[in-house]
Amino acid sequence: MKFRKDVIFSENDIFTTKNIEIMKFLIYLVLLFIFSQQAVSQVIRKEFLLSDTINFEGLQAEFGQNKTIPKEFEKQILLALSFYAELRNTKIVFKVKNTLIPLASRPTFWSVFKRRKNRTYKVTISSKTIAFLTPILLKNLSYNAQIGVLGHEIAHIAEYINKNAWQIMGMGFGQLSGKYIDKFEYATDLRCIEHGLGYQLLAWSVQVREKLQVKEWKNVSAKSSSERYMNPETIEKYMKESEKYQ
Ligand SMILES: [Zn+2]
């Protein structure tokens, strides 16, 4: 029997070969739209991989405004920033240099006295430090953990933007107290989890403990029972309690 197309598809039928092609194309466009939208929104993921197909141009356009980002950590920084919509227009300079502390964030000196929207913040990424801290330099961490610790640094900025000059100076003086730092860093980890980077922070927390061979961070102020940086179990506990992660 000879196959006759017009028997299956009458002229009035919407399922003509041509229409099917058009529909396929429309479905493709819809999928492409959904996919590109996903790339620029905060989607909680267990693991980000360097091989992921992510619309980095979209991330750059949406979260790269007023940011100075070194090429070598561009993807990680843009991904971490994409979880902080409130910092979309904030001026942040990420800088790689030889410095003891693996990572640090703060407003630039004169910024403290400027209007909040005119401030510039600086995230310093160490490229070289003492032997003990070398394994936890950003470049020596996994991609997922890099996003996590950058998320922690950016969480500091998300707090600074809401503080006035006096409060920021107070936070500076607070750094003289071990107990204050415990609270300050713990709250920053929590902010990072609440922004959706809990799994990445967890990857960092696990990796740092492995690399430094520390099982648990003991708080510096021995009298309190708080942790300075959250232990992996604590991060997991907060994720379990948060609706965001269900
Ligand atoms: Zn911190």
pLDDT, tens only, 21-73: 877 777 766 666 655 544 455 789 999 999 999 999 999 999 999 999 999 99
15 Cα: distance to centroid of ligand 1 (angstroms)? 59
| Domains identified in the chain, total number | 2
Is 90 a domain residue? yes
- Tell how far the Cα of 105 is from the centroid of ligand 1, in angstroms: 8
Asked if residue 200 is part of any domain, the answer here is yes
Q: How far apart are CA 193 and CA 243, in angstroms?
A: 11
Asked if residue 215 and residue 157 are part of one domain, the reply reads: yes
Q: How far apart are CA 8 and CA 1, in angstroms?
A: 14
User: Is residue 171's pLDDT more than 80?
Assistant: yes
Torsion sign (Cα): 76, 246, 228, 91: positive
Residue 48: inside a domain: no
- CA 26 to centroid of ligand 1, rounded, Å: 47
Between the CA of 128 and the centroid of ligand 1 the distance, in Å, is 19
Q: What is the DSSP string of 75-127?
A: HHHHHHHTT-GGGTT-EEEEEEEE-SSSEEEEE-GGGGGS-GGG-EEEEEEEE
Q: Measured between alpha carbons, how far is 35 from 41 in angstroms, rounded to an integer?
A: 10
Whether residue 68 lies inside any domain: the answer is yes
One-letter amino acid at 71 equals K
- Is pLDDT at 221 greater than 50 in this prediction? no
What is the distance between the alpha carbons of residues 21 and 17, in angstroms, rounded to a whole number?
6
Ligand 1 centroid distance, CA of 130 (Å): 19
Distance 32 CA to ligand 1 centre (A): 37
Sheet holding 91-98, edge to edge: 67-68, 91-98, 120-128, 103-107
Distance 99 CA to ligand 1 centre (A): 16
Q: How far is CA 203 from CA 42, 144, 229, 230, in A?
A: 18, 7, 13, 12
Same domain, 66 and 172: yes
Q: Are residues 19 and 137 in the same domain?
A: no
For 12-21, write each residue's pLDDT tens digit.
666 677 777 8
* Two tokens, residue 189: 């980890």
18 and 64: one domain? Answer: no
| Per-residue pLDDT tens over the stretch 98-144 | 999 999 999 999 999 999 999 999 999 999 999 999 999 999 999 99
**What is residue 2's predicted lDDT score, i.e. its pLDDT?**
52
Whole-number Å distance, alpha carbon 108 to ligand 1 midpoint, is 16
Which range of residues forms the domain containing residue 74? 56-245
Angle at which helix 74-81 crosses helix 143-160, to 10 degrees, equals 50
Compute, in angstroms, the gap from residue 185 CA to the centroid of ligand 1.
Answer: 5
CA distance 227 to 145: 19
Decide: pTM greater than 0.85.
no
Instruction: Write down the mean pLDDT value for the chain.
Output: 88
Taking the centre of ligand 1 as the mean of its atom positions, its distance from the CA of residue 154, in whole angstroms, is: 9
Residue 191 Cα to ligand 1 midpoint, Å, equals: 11
Examine the domain organization and report whether 24 and 146 are in the same domain: no
Does 21 share its domain with 64? no
pLDDT at 33: 60
Please tell me the predicted confidence (pLDDT) of residue 77: 98
> What 3-state class would DSSP assign to 67?
strand
Same domain, yes or no: 34 and 68: no
In a domain, 44, yes or no: no
- Which one is predicted more confidently, 221 or 102? 102
In a domain? residue 49: no
Least Cα distance to 138 among 102, 106, 104 occurs for 102
Residues 89 and 199 in one domain: yes
Q: How far is the CA of 187 from the centre of ligand 1 (A)?
A: 9
Q: How far is the CA of 114 from the centre of ligand 1 (A)?
A: 23
pLDDT score recorded for residue 101: 95
Q: What separation in Å is there between the alpha carbon of 193 and the centre of ligand 1?
A: 13
How far is ligand 1, taken at its centre, from the CA of residue 91, in Å?
19
How far, in Å, from the CA of 43 to the mean position of ligand 1?
Answer: 23
Same domain for 65 and 127? Answer: yes
